């Protein structure tokens, strides 16, 4: 039985490679894709998504919806530029045309329509902020009944997050920080939440040995694509900096296809929406229950995604 997956992402390198990998999974049926301009610019991220579906979607019939959501705390421009580089890869431009269309509704309405059009429930995969989901729930609260669970790259319960910005204390993860209210809105719903948090994503940095592994296997078009994409972003070499790249979203996506790569734990938590810690997820007994992915078998993860890429 294939799982129905609706994918909302924000166009960074790991969001776009997640889309590519998701399309290679035998046990997944991608029912919808939408793009939110958080850690990207909308136009190139839309184009890259449509071109990836054209090139690697094996003829799947999808339209990509553009989000008109706006966040509270903007991503750094340098990071948002990444989608331009992916969109321009020759590998995605060989045909000289783009066939996969743009959906005729904004992402949050497209999400509602896509879930309602399917029999049964759909799993949500979100690898950017939760704004589109929060807006969809405000418009259509009973949409919850159509949602199997939400698998989200977001949050951390460590002292240290990955936001390094003026006026912030560094305790938040970026996808929560961009729109803390949206996360809080989803926390207040009855939707089952699986958080792929920094606890586990910190264990899958982009390293030189990973790049080398993909370079060696570049005769496989899909592995070459991974190699080209991860040439755009900085690897971990000596120590972690603010720009060091991890496979945050790819781990989240891999969890969809192969659950046993990771360890999961239940935590009660709240989202802080105001002040210097805004966007922080805090463990507290009074909070709602979430499943936190806190550990990963690193080698099994890289084997899994490389094997998926070979199939493309």
Footprint of Ca ion on this chain (CB under 5 A)?
Answer: 10, 12, 15, 127-128, 249
Each residue 213-252 as x (binds ligand AGV by CB under 6 A) or -, in order, gives: ------------------------------xxx--xx---
3-state secondary structure 26-93: CCEEEEEEEECCCCCCHHHHHHHHHHHHHHHCCCCCCCEEECCCCCCCCCCHHHHCHHHHHHCCHHHC
Q: Are 309 and 226 in contact (CB under 8 A)?
A: yes
Q: Which of 6, 7, 8, 14 is the binder for ligand AGV (CB under 6 A)?
A: 14
Tell me the closest approach of the beta carbon of residue 175 to ligand AGV, in angstroms. 5
- Contact call for residue 87 and ligand AGV (CB under 6 A): no
- Contact call for residue 174 and ligand AGV (CB under 6 A): yes
Rule CB under 6 A: which of 118-137 touch ligand AGV? 127-128
Specify the 3-state DSSP secondary structure of 153.
strand
Instruction: With residue 295 as reference, give the H or E element that holds it.
Output: strand 288-296
Closest CB to ligand AGV among 143 and 172? 172
Tell me the closest approach of the beta carbon of residue 218 to ligand AGV, in angstroms. 23
Rule CB under 6 A: which of 18-57 touch ligand AGV? 39
Instruction: Return the one option of ligand AGV, Ca ion, none that residue 294 interacts with (CB less than 5 to 8 A, by type).
Output: none
- Contact call for residue 157 and ligand AGV (CB under 6 A): no
Q: How far is CA 80 from CA 69, 93, 115, 229, 310, in A?
A: 16, 21, 29, 14, 28
Q: Are 277 and 169 in contact (CB under 8 A)?
A: yes
Residues that bind ligand AGV (CB under 6 A): 12, 14-15, 39, 79, 127-128, 153, 162, 173-175, 243-245, 248-249
């Amino acid at each position: 039985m294939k799982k129905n997956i609706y994918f909302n992402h924000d166009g960074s390198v790991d969001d776009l490679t997640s889309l590519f990998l998701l399309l290679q999974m035998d046990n997944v049926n991608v029912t919808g894709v939408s793009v939110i301009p958080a850690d990207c610019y909308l136009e190139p991220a839309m184009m890259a998504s449509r071109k990836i579906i054209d090139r690697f979607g094996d003829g799947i019939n999808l339209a990509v919806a553009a989000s008109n959501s706006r966040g509270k705390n903007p991503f750094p421009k340098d990071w948002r530029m990444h989608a331009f580089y992916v969109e321009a890869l020759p590998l995605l431009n060989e045909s000289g045309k783009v066939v996969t269309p743009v959906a005729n509704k904004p992402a949050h309405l497209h999400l509602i329509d896509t879930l309602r059009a399917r029999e049964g429930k759909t799993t949500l995969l979100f690898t950017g902020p939760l704004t589109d989901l929060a807006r969809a729930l405000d418009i259509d609260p009973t949409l919850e009944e159509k949602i199997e669970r939400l698998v989200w790259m977001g949050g951390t319960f460590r002292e240290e997050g990955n936001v390094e910005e003026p006026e912030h204390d560094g305790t938040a993860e970026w996808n929560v920080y961009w729109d803390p209210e949206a996360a809080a809105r989803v926390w207040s719903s009855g939707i089952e939440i699986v958080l792929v948090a920094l606890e586990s994503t910190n264990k899958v940095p982009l390293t030189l040995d990973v790049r080398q592994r993909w370079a060696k296997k570049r005769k496989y078009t899909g592995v070459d694509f991974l190699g080209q994409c991860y040439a755009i972003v900085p690897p971990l070499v000596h120590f972690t900096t603010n720009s060091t790249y991890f496979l945050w979203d790819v781990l989240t996506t891999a969890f969809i296809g192969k659950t046993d790569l990771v360890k999961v734990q239940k935590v009660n938590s709240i989202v802080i929406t105001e002040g210097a810690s805004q966007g922080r997820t805090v463990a507290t007994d009074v909070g709602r229950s979430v499943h936190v992915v806190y550990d990963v078998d690193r080698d099994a993860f890289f084997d899994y995604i490389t094997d998926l890429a070979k199939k493309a």
